[in-house]
Amino acid sequence: MDHPAIGTQHDLASKISSRGATVGIIGLGYVGLPLAAACARARFPTVGFDIDKTKIDAIGAGRSYIDAVEPRELERLVAEGSFRATTAFEELSSCDIIVICVPTPLGVHREPDLQYVENTARTIARFLKADQIVVLESTTYPGTTEEIVRPILEQSGLLSGKDFFLGFSPEREDPGNKRYTTTVIPKVTSGDGEAASKLVATFYEAVFNEVVAVSAPRVAEAVKITENIFRAVNIALVNELKVIYDAMGIDIWEVIDAASTKPFGYMPFYPGPGLGGHCIPIDPFYLTWKSQEYGLRTRFIELAGEINTSMPSYVVAKLERLLDRMQKKSLGSSRILVVGIAYKKNVSDVRESASFEIIRLLEQRGASVEFHDPLVETVPTMRRFPEMAGRVSTGLTPLEIERFDAILIATDHDDIDYALLSAHARLVVDTRNAIDKRGFATPSTFKA
C-alpha cells in the first residue's frame, strides 16, 4: 500500500473541500472561459492561461468575448480577485488543479491533430510538481489521456497515480442553450487509477450540480465521442430523408413535427445546410482514425460525413433551379444574400459553419454574394476560408433586401426580421424552415 499517495489524496481532497485549491485553466475559448468562470463562482482561486494576449487583456478589463459568460459576471469575478488570466505559464507550478481546454481539430486528411494537446502537456511537464491534479477536457479518441498525455507528463520524472493525479472529463458546452448552462449539465469524470478518479470527481462535484464518474479515461473519452457520433449520424439521416422527401413533394419538417408526437421510440432531429461547430463535424472522425488500429471501419460515421458534407452543394443546386424557374436567371448573374453565417442559431460562433462553404460554392459559380448576421458583424480570421475574413454584415432593410435576386437562410437566429424578408424578397430559399414555422410563407418561399 502506498501510504504517501493516500496521504496526498486526503490532503488534496481537503484542500478542494475548503476551496483552498488553486485551479488553472489552459485555453480560454468556448470551453475554457465558461469553466474558469464556473470555478471562480464556486469560490476556487482561478487562473486562466492562454497564448493569445488579446484574450488576456479582455479578461483583465472584464470584457467577455464568449456568449456563455456574461460581461457583468466576468467583470465582478475579476474585480473581486476570484479570476485572473495570464500568458505566464510558469505560474502553473502554483496551481493545485490544471485543466486542459485546448482545440483538437482535424488534419487535411481527417486525421487527429493533437498538436495543441501535446504542446500543452509538454508545457505542463516543465512546471509539474508533486501533488497536482491534471485533467484533459479536450475532445479526443479513446486512449489519448493514457497513451499520449501521461507519457509526456511523466517525462518530468513524476509518476501518474503516485506523484500526480491524471484524469479526463469531457466538455459538454452547448453554446446558446440558456437552459443547460455549464454547471447544470451532468459532468462525466474519470481518473488514471482509483486515487485520481476520486480526486477528479471531488473537484468537479464542487463546481457542477451532478457528477457521473466512469471507470477509466478511455471510457470517458468514448462517452464524448459517442454523444457527437449520435448527433452526426441522426442529422445525416434527416438530411438524406429531406432530399428524398423533397423529390416526392413531401415536406420533411411536417413529417418530423408529426413523428415527434409519438411519446416513445422517436427523437426529433432537424435537417440543415450542413454541419458546423467545433464538435459534430470533427469529433466522430477521431474514432474513425483510431479504429483503424484495430482493423475496423466506422461505416456509419463515414457515410454520415459524406451526407452532411454534401448538403451545401444540394442547397446551391436547389437555389440554382429555383432562380431559373422563378426568375429565368442564371446563378452566375445573380445577387445572393446569405442570412446567418454562425454555425447555429443565437450564437456568434462561426467555426466550421456550412454558410462559408455555401458562399464559396456560389462565388465559384459567379454569383455576387453578401451576408447578413445580427450576431456576426465582421467575419473573423478562420483556419478554413481565411480569404473571407473581414467581410461585413449587410443591413436588413426593404431597399437592401430588394437588391438581391434571392435570399438564402442558412442560420435561423431569432433576432432576424423574417416578416420583412418574406415581404420584400423576390425569392427565399430556407434551409431551416424559419419562414414557414413563423407563418410568413409566400409563393416565393421554398425550403431546401
Residue among 39, 95, 101, 279 flagged as catalytic: 279
Give the burial string for 316-330 (b: 16+ CB within 10 Å, else e): bebbbebbeeeeebe
In a domain, 102, yes or no: yes
In a domain, 224, yes or no: no
pLDDT tens column, 206-235: 999 999 999 999 999 999 999 999 999 999
Separation between Cα atoms, residue 150 and residue 415, nearest integer Å: 46
Q: What does the pLDDT read at residue 7?
A: 66
Grouping H, G, I as helix, E, B as strand and the rest as coil, residue 430 is: strand
Q: What does the pLDDT read at residue 1?
A: 42
Side chain identity, residue 52: D
Verify whether residue 95 is a known catalytic residue. Answer: no
- Same-domain check for residues 209 and 238: no
Tell me the average pLDDT across 256-278: 94
CA distances from 185 to 24, 78, 113, 138, 210 (A): 21, 25, 27, 17, 7
pLDDT tens column, 327-377: 999 999 999 999 999 999 999 999 999 999 999 999 999 999 999 999 999
Separation between Cα atoms, residue 334 and residue 164, nearest integer Å: 62
- Same-domain check for residues 404 and 259: yes
pLDDT tens column, 50-77: 999 999 999 999 999 998 999 999 999 9
Q: Is the pLDDT of residue 407 over 90?
A: yes
Tell me the average pLDDT across 70-94: 97
In a domain, 221, yes or no: no
- Same-domain check for residues 260 and 129: no
Q: What does the pLDDT read at residue 9?
A: 85
Instruction: Cell numbers for 12, please give them.
Output: 488534496
Could you give phi then psi for residue 2, rounded to 5 degrees?
-95, 90
- Same-domain check for residues 244 and 209: no
- How many separate domains does the chain show? 2
In a domain, 152, yes or no: yes
Instruction: Cell numbers for 428, please give them.
Output: 427565399
Could you tell me which residues come within 8 angstroms of residue 57 by beta carbon, excluding any fewer than 6 positions away? Answer: none
Could you tell me which residues come within 8 angstroms of residue 24 by beta carbon, excluding any fewer than 6 positions away? Answer: 46, 47, 48, 49, 91, 92, 95, 97, 98, 99
The strand pair at 187-191 and 211-213 is best described as parallel
In a domain, 394, yes or no: yes
pLDDT tens column, 368-403: 999 999 999 999 998 889 999 999 999 999 999 999
Q: Last residue of a domain, which of 174, 191, 215?
A: 215
The conformation of residue 80, written as its DSSP 8-state character, comes to T
- Same-domain check for residues 207 and 286: no
Q: Last residue of a domain, which of 170, 186, 215?
A: 215
Q: What is the mean pLDDT of the chain?
A: 95
- Same-domain check for residues 209 and 235: no
Categorize the per-residue pLDDT at 176 as very low, low, confident or very high, splitting at 50, 70 and 90: confident
In a domain, 386, yes or no: yes
**Are 235 and 275 a contacting pair, CB within 8 Å?**
yes
Separation between Cα atoms, residue 300 and residue 253, nearest integer Å: 24
Length of the chain as a residue count: 448
- Same-domain check for residues 237 and 116: no
In a domain, 225, yes or no: no
Instruction: Cell numbers for 205, please give them.
Output: 462535484
What's the start-to-end Cα distance of the chain, in Å? 64
Q: Last residue of a domain, which of 215, 240, 269?
A: 215
Residue 187: name the closest of 318, 42, 357 by CA: 42
Helical axes 71-79 vs 32-41, angle rounded to 10°: 60
Q: What does the pLDDT read at residue 5?
A: 65
Categorize the per-residue pLDDT at 4 as very low, low, confident or very high, splitting at 50, 70 and 90: low
Instruction: Cell numbers for 333, please give them.
Output: 448573374
- Same-domain check for residues 192 and 252: no
Q: What does the pLDDT read at residue 2?
A: 47
Q: What does the pLDDT read at residue 220?
A: 98
Q: Is the pLDDT of residue 320 over 60?
A: yes
- Same-domain check for residues 415 and 280: yes
- Report the 10 Å Cβ neighbour count for 72: 10
Separation between Cα atoms, residue 429 and residue 358, nearest integer Å: 13
Residue 375: name the closest of 397, 346, 396, 352 by CA: 346
Q: What does the pLDDT read at residue 277?
A: 79
Q: What does the pLDDT read at residue 384?
A: 87
Could you give phi then psi for residue 411, rounded to 5 degrees?
-135, 130
- Same-domain check for residues 204 and 238: no
Separation between Cα atoms, residue 232 and residue 284, nearest integer Å: 8
The CATH number for 22's domain is 3.40.50.720
Residues spanned by the domain of 9: 3-215
In a domain, 223, yes or no: no
- Same-domain check for residues 179 and 273: no
CA distances from 182 to 104, 149, 174, 189, 229 (A): 20, 25, 8, 15, 21
- Same-domain check for residues 121 and 157: yes
